[in-house]
Amino acid sequence: MNPRSCVNIHKEWDIVGARQLGREMAKEIGFGTVDQARIATAVSELARNIYLYAKNGQVCFEYIYTNSQKGILMTAVDTGPGIKDISRVMQDGYTTSGGLGAGLPGVKRLMDEFDIESAAGEGTKIKAIKWIR
Amino acid sequence: MRIPILKLHNYLLISIQTEIDDQTAIKFQEDLLAKIHKTGATGVVIDLTSVDIIDSFIAKVLGDVVSMSDLMGARVVLTGIQPAVAMTLIDLGIHLQNVPTALDLEQGLVKLHQELGG
Amino acid sequence: MDANLKELMISNSDSIVDSWMDEVGRIKSGNYTASISDELYENTNREFVNVIFTSIQNQGSSKVVEEFSEKMINLGWPLSYITDGLQVFRRVTIEFLLKQADQVDSSHFSNVLTSVDEWIEPLIRQLVNEYSGSWENILSLQRVALQELSAPLIPVMEGITVMPLIGTIDTDRAKLIMENLLEGAIKHNSEVVLIDITGVPVVDTMVAHHIIQAAEAVRLIGSTCILVGIRPEIAQTIINIGIDLSKFPTRSSLKKGFTRALEITGRTVVDLPSKNQGIDEIMNALKGE
């Protein structure tokens, strides 16, 4: 009833695969083009983080429904080194990879709900939801 | 996969038509700089009309390409950024502050022509 | 049993109608229908009670009810008039039917109650549905209208587009504004987009932030954004709360902004000589006479 689709991330091209799946699922449930782009971009950021820092992980999508709204939930899970200081990675401009440092805080702004759990040495789990307006 | 770079007088024209992955982006950066070096082009237009995702990595590569080309004496204009892409970039907090933009390829060429005082 | 009761009720419709009219007439004073003339009120009551009877007689014929409710909605009669009227009808009918029986035991009593309920309930349901359906319809129309109003985009000239903003800007509206702005700029191929905030009552950090984001997105798609309609008090708040608008061209009025937009697109306004010439010619012609 509530299908869940996942993409395993272990090579660079998987990032593209993940964002294509994210965009398709967003389109199917009825997101507009702008929100499709937001979701696909958020997927891209999360998948890249997995590829860069954890090497191995998974990005999953599922539709969620409440009484008043519907949306898409994405979960990015990896078993990499984890994040020591979460508040720091949520700051704009903080980067360890030489990127723009827009990744995680950017994802938070792109999506409606954002939740991150991480422990050093145990990996990271990020959940993000976008509701249909 | 390689992104083709066309030469027109002093200008280089690039239209990105495919989904860009990180390798393609980096390869493109190298190719473009090599081409500027070889041709001595003074202006570059990169058309992004068909690109529907620019994430923070691609944005960084594009911003870098603009600054690097500037160093080599070639002015770069980005054209045809889609509304959805622009909004996503703003949400990400990426403003590409020093990158010149234009609505389409034609206006991009006009802009280069003006800036280069041609 | 059921059919008997119904026959009893219908054959005595006159006396039921009388006591119904009586009671409903009493409700009128001091409530929602107080401003309606007595004559119209009575006519409507008569029509209403006719509809009730026709509907019960025909086992819930929906056509009559539909027409009646449509009329009531168009004339703006409140739903409470309908529900009150039906409640009174229920009470009056039950009272009447119970009085007809020589002897009231509990089974007869419950029989009367169920029967009357069975007659009235489909009516209530249908009327309430018609009313709420019409409200929902109005609501969705208004929502669409509001959305269209909230971020209008006017292409005034080749390459120049104006978006006048009126009213408070919240996050949802800001998103809509940005989408309309960008899509419109591309659709009309606008080199310059003017955002007119004359009609925005308060510009706080939040609103300024949204406007700055919109202006930056406009720059990304390759167009230029000019912020116009900055009133003195807005200029004061913007500087006092420390918002940096220096990266964007701003103008105090739409007129000045438009002039700037013309400059950017390489144009200028020229007075045509013909107007003055026309007057000169007339003057000369007058002199000649």
Residues 6+ apart with CB under 8 A from C101: C108
Poorest-pLDDT segment among B76-85, C179-188, C214-223, C268-277: C268-277
- Yes or no, beta carbons of B90 and C213 under 8 Å apart: yes
In terms of residue numbers, what domain contains B68? 6-115
Query: What percentage of chain C has pLDDT greater than the value 90?
Result: 20
What residues make up the domain containing A35?
4-131
Residue A61 pLDDT exceeds 50? yes
- State residue A2's pLDDT score: 61
CATH number of the domain encompassing residue B43: 3.30.750.24
**Domain check: are C217 and C83 in the same one?**
no
What residue has token string 């006159």?
Answer: C14
Interface of A with B in 55-84 (CB under 8 A): none
> Which amino acid, B90?
I
pLDDT averaged over every residue in chain C: 83
Position C254 in a domain = yes
Task: Say if residue C107 is in the same domain as residue C138.
Answer: yes
The CA-atom distances, in angstroms, between B60 and each of A99, B12, B57, B66 are 7, 21, 5, 10
CATH of the domain at A104: 3.30.565.10
CB B44, CB B77: distance < 8 Å: yes
What is the Cα–Cα distance from C79 to C59, expressed in whole angstroms? 23
Residues 6+ apart with CB under 8 A from C228: C194, C195, C196, C197, C198, C250, C251, C252, C253, C254, C256, C257, C258
In chain A, which residues have their Cβ closer than 8 Å to the Cβ of B85?
37
Residue A109, chain C, CB below 8 Å: the answer is no
Q: Residue A97 has what pLDDT?
A: 63
Whether the CA torsion C38, C40, C46, C49 is positive or negative: it is: negative
| Residue with the larger pLDDT of the pair C34 and B47 | B47
Q: Is the ipTM of this complex over 0.85?
A: no
Q: Would you call A7 helix, strand, or coil by DSSP?
A: strand
Q: Is the pLDDT of residue B70 over 70?
A: yes
Q: Do B81 and C220 touch (CB under 8 A)?
A: yes
Mean pLDDT of A66-94: 85
The count of domains in chain C is 2
Q: Are C220 and B108 an interchain contact pair (Cβ–Cβ within 8 Å)?
A: no
Please state the rounded mean pLDDT for residues A18-33: 91
Q: Nearest chain B Cα to C222, which residue?
A: B102
Mean pLDDT of the C67-74 span: 84
Sheet of A113-119, strand order:
A4-9, A57-65, A70-78, A123-131, A113-119
**Which has more confidence, C82 or A26?**
A26
| Per-residue pLDDT at C12 | 78
Please say whether the beta carbons of C5 and C112 come within 8 A: yes
> Which helix H or strand E contains C78, and what residues bound it?
none
Residue C75 in any domain: the answer is yes
Contact A34 C172 (CB under 8 A): no
Mean pLDDT, residues B43-57: 92
Residue B22 within a domain: yes
C13 and C85 fall within a common domain: yes
Determine the average pLDDT of the residues in B35-50.
94
What percent of chain C stands above pLDDT 70? 94
- Tell me the CATH number at C54: 1.10.490.10
Cβ atoms of residues B75 and B42 within 8 Å? yes
Average pLDDT value for residue range C150-163: 90
Q: How far is CA C48 from the centre of its chain?
A: 28
* Residue C1 reports pLDDT greater than 50: no
Position B1 in a domain: no
Mean pLDDT across chain A: 86
pLDDT band at C85 (very low <50, low <70, confident <90, very high): confident
Return all residues near B84 (Cβ < 8 A) that are at least 6 apart: A33, A34, A36, A37, A38, B52
Partner residue facing B83 (CB), from C186, C213, C219: C186
Measured between beta carbons, which residues in chain B are less than 8 angstroms from residue C223? 103
- Which residue range is the domain that position C250 belongs to? 154-264
User: What is the per-residue pLDDT for A1?
Assistant: 45
pLDDT tens for each residue of C114-153: 888 888 888 888 888 888 888 888 888 888 887 777 788 8
Q: Is residue C287 part of a domain?
A: no
Q: Indicate if C127 and C48 belong to the same structural domain.
A: yes
Q: Does residue A74 have a pLDDT over 90?
A: yes
Q: Identify whether residues C21 and C106 lie together within a single domain.
A: yes
